[in-house]
Amino acid sequence: MYFCRLNYLKNMELMDLGAKEHDELRQGEAFLPFKNDPNLYKKHFFIESYGCAMNFADSEVVASILQEQGFGATKDLAQADLILLNTCSVREKAEQTIRKRLTEFRKYKEKKNGLLVGVLGCMAERLKSKLLEEEKLVDMVIGPDAYRSLPILIEEAETGQKAVNVLLSRDETYADIAPIRLDSNSVSAFVSIMRGCNNMCSFCVVPFTRGRERSRDAHSIYAESVDLFEKGYKEITLLGQNVDSYYWMDEPNAHSVTFAELLEKIALISPLLRVRFSTSHPKDITDDVLHTIAKYDNICNYIHLPVQSGNNRILQLMNRTYTREWYKAKVDRIREIIPDCGISTDIISGFCTETEEDHQDTIEIMQYSKYDYAYMYFYSERPGTLASKRFEDDVPEEIKKKRLQEIVDIQYHLSLNSNKNDVGKTFRILVDGESKKDNRFWKGRNDQNKVAVFEKKEFGIKMGDYVYVKINDCTKGTLLGAFVRF
Ligand code: SAM
Ligand code: SF4
Ligand code: F3S
């Protein structure tokens, strides 16, 4: 959600894009949460983030580290002394986007002596110092576990040397760093609860770019969430590549914390704080988690449950470690314990050796699961992954795209039907902004993560308010309604 969201859970807008590669759209500029006094900071940084929510959350850690060093954020490239791109490697297209963006910085480099360009995140980790050879304009390459070394690397780069740190860590979680919220609507925020991934899905580059899975100290997650709530935030999304395998040992008290327990602890901060999470691996989400969601009204009834494929042979080649039968049973269990739960997914078309019959199994599992939304991609071979080593990328691109289009078309109808079923119902919406299409309308999301818009009129509503909205119409991406009451 894999999602985003990014701005956050802009994910709802991204979901609307269907199969369109949305990495470019996930970029976000620093929003200047810093004091806007040009004399307050000796230098300025510009940061742009791509990829998943975890990258956006990391950029907020980076902003915090840089502020400590006297850097202020700027949205103006011309004002920047340091340009940072926090990058994604998940598909080839994501990396192409970064390379294109880098070329656009050349003119700023030419104009401003000493301007530094740094590449952070997954592409930095994947390509390491090779990136410096390939992209001459880049001064610094910094992997996701090396952000604490930014001040030293900047100093090094200021002397004219190229600076690189791509060491992965087994224990870095940045638990003690208070992120500075960038691009924030002051309503929703991300809280990272773990880093890395141990799953080794054969198509996926993430275990190589993010390293081993590790869970963050539960006390620091709690403290960050309380702090956000006290600052007026109304919604937090707990983030990890595989949140259901969260496990933290409180050594002094000889007490372990599971994801279900963490969810409960965060939900108990206040009934006015909405709690979301992403992403769940179908093999790991437990009944305990489902019962915890059902127990607390402020834990949203929404689960992102990536299926990837509906065919058992392909699932095995993907190393997803579940079968279609297991997956369907999980969907049934979710609907049994949380009857009104929204479910979204990720799907890849055209994985190695996928036949037309295999593809039909994916269509069938979509119809069975009745997803509210889906992020849909065609397979993009990533160097170094298990699939790239073991299997031939043998489905022609036009077939991959044709199957993807079918998947998108099916999802269009599933999303539309799901929304049509909501017409006539009243939902509690958390208002998180104005409608992009028409500023006479408020925009917000319901418990199931669906976007709802309604006319502002003279009700005195403001961002961060919870309001009840009666739905009277819909598109496949949006519920359209009218304000009922606070
Ligand atoms: N951890 C999450 C999970 O297990 O589903 C999501 C991780 S990944 C960053 C987000 C999505 O990108 C995946 O669920 C998958 O659908 C897609 N993806 C990953 N590698 C891909 C590849 N090589 N080609 C196409 N899509 C890919
Ligand atoms: Fe990638 Fe699989 Fe880990 Fe998700 S669970 S990040 S798809 S390896
Ligand atoms: Fe996220 Fe892309 Fe890295 S999806 S973990 S930023 S490869």
Inter-residue contact 275 to 234 (CB < 8 Å): no
Cβ atoms < 10 Å from Cβ of 190: 27
Residue 202 has pLDDT above 60, yes or no: yes
Closest CA relative to residue 184, chosen from 26, 68, 29? 29
- Joined together, the tokens standing for residue 348 give 């890849």
Q: What amino acid occupies position 277?
A: F
pLDDT at residue 254, rounded to an integer: 84
Question: 167 alpha carbon to ligand 1 midpoint, in Å?
Answer: 23
CB of residue 89 inside a 6 A radius of ligand 2: no
Residue 16 has pLDDT above 60, yes or no: no
CB of residue 242 inside a 6 A radius of ligand 2: yes
Residue 33 has pLDDT above 80, yes or no: no
Closest CA relative to residue 193, chosen from 218, 172, 230, 210? 218
Q: How far apart are CA 159 and CA 156, in angstroms?
A: 5
Within 6 Å (CB) of ligand 1, which residues are found? 2, 52, 90-91, 203-204, 206, 241-242, 279, 281, 306, 308, 346, 348, 377, 379-380, 382
Contacts of 288 (CB under 8 A, 6+ apart): 258, 260
Atom of ligand 3 lying closest to residue 210 CA: 5
Residue 1 has pLDDT above 70, yes or no: no
Residue 37 has pLDDT above 80, yes or no: no
Q: Average pLDDT, stretch 408-419?
A: 98
Higher-confidence position of 37 and 403: 403
Q: DSSP string spanning 309-349?
A: -S-HHHHHHTT----HHHHHHHHHHHHHHSTT-EEEEEEEE
248 strand-pairing partners: 257
To the question of domain 188-420 being in CATH 3.80.30.20, the answer is: yes
pLDDT at residue 252, rounded to an integer: 83
- DSSP-based three-state secondary structure for 10: strand
Q: How far apart are CA 18 and CA 399, in angstroms?
A: 17
- Which of 15-24, 167-176, 275-284 is predicted with the least confidence, judged by mean pLDDT? 15-24
| Ligand found nearest the CA of 94 | 3
Question: 74 alpha carbon to ligand 2 midpoint, in Å?
Answer: 33
Residues in the chain: 486
Q: Ligand 3 pocket test: pick from 55, 213, 382 the residue with the most ligand atoms within 8 Å of its Cβ.
A: 55
What angle, rounded to 10 degrees, do the helices at 53-68 and 150-158 form? Answer: 70
Residue 190 DSSP code: E
Q: Indicate the pLDDT class of residue 40, thresholds 50, 70 and 90.
A: confident
Percentage above 70 pLDDT, the chain: 92
Q: Ligand 1 pocket test: pick from 123, 205, 348 the residue with the most ligand atoms within 8 Å of its Cβ.
A: 348
pLDDT at residue 35, rounded to an integer: 56
Within 6 Å (CB) of ligand 3, which residues are found? 51-52, 54-55, 88-90, 121-122, 205-206, 209-210
Tens digits of per-residue pLDDT, 441-450? 999 999 999 9
Cβ atoms < 10 Å from Cβ of 412: 14
Q: What amino acid occupies position 22?
A: H
pLDDT at residue 142, rounded to an integer: 98
Q: In Å, how far are 239, 337, 338, 356, 369 from 292, measured between CA atoms?
A: 17, 10, 10, 40, 22
Q: Indicate the pLDDT class of residue 459, thresholds 50, 70 and 90.
A: confident
| Ligand found nearest the CA of 203 | 1
Q: Three-state SS across 73-119?
A: ECCCHHHCCEEEEEECCCCHHHHHHHHHHHHHCHHHHHHCCCCEEEE
Q: DSSP string spanning 208-230?
A: HHH-S-EEPPHHHHHHHHHHHHH
pLDDT at residue 42, rounded to an integer: 84
Please give the model's pTM, rounded to 2 decimal places.
0.93
Atom of ligand 1 lying closest to residue 241 CA: 1
Tens digits of per-residue pLDDT, 148-192? 999 999 999 999 999 999 999 999 999 999 999 988 899 999 999
Atom of ligand 1 lying closest to residue 203 CA: 23
CB of residue 315 inside a 6 A radius of ligand 2: no
Sign for the CA dihedral angle at 179, 153, 160, 121 comes to negative
Cβ atoms < 10 Å from Cβ of 195: 26
Q: Three-state SS across 433-455?
A: EECCCCCCEEEEECCCCCEEEEE
CB of residue 199 inside a 6 A radius of ligand 2: yes
Residue 19 has pLDDT above 50, yes or no: no
- Joined together, the tokens standing for residue 16 give 């609307």
Tens digits of per-residue pLDDT, 229-250? 999 999 999 999 999 999 999 8
Mean of pLDDT over the chain: 92
pLDDT at residue 458, rounded to an integer: 83
How many helices (H) and strands (E) would you count in the chain? 16, 21
* Torsion angle defined by CA atoms of residues 357, 385, 145 and 285, in that order, rounded to the nearest 10 degrees: 30
Question: 424 alpha carbon to ligand 1 midpoint, in Å?
Answer: 35
Atom of ligand 1 lying closest to residue 375 CA: 16
- Which of 88-92, 194-198, 457-461 is predicted with the least confidence, judged by mean pLDDT? 457-461
Residue 299 DSSP code: B
Inter-residue contact 217 to 194 (CB < 8 Å): no
To the question of domain 6-165 being in CATH 3.40.50.12160, the answer is: yes
CB of residue 192 inside a 6 A radius of ligand 2: no
Sign for the CA dihedral angle at 433, 4, 126, 99 comes to negative
CATH superfamily, domain 426-485, is: Nucleic acid-binding proteins (2.40.50.140)
| Ligand found nearest the CA of 385 | 1
| Ligand found nearest the CA of 85 | 3
Q: What residue segments make up the domains of the chain, in order of their start?
A: 6-165, 188-420, 426-485
| CB-based contacts of 404-410 (< 8 A; 24+ apart in sequence) | 404/19, 404/349, 404/350, 404/376, 404/377, 404/378, 405/19, 406/359, 406/363, 407/19, 407/347, 407/349, 407/362, 407/363, 407/366, 407/374, 407/376, 408/18, 408/19, 408/376, 410/363, 410/366, 410/367
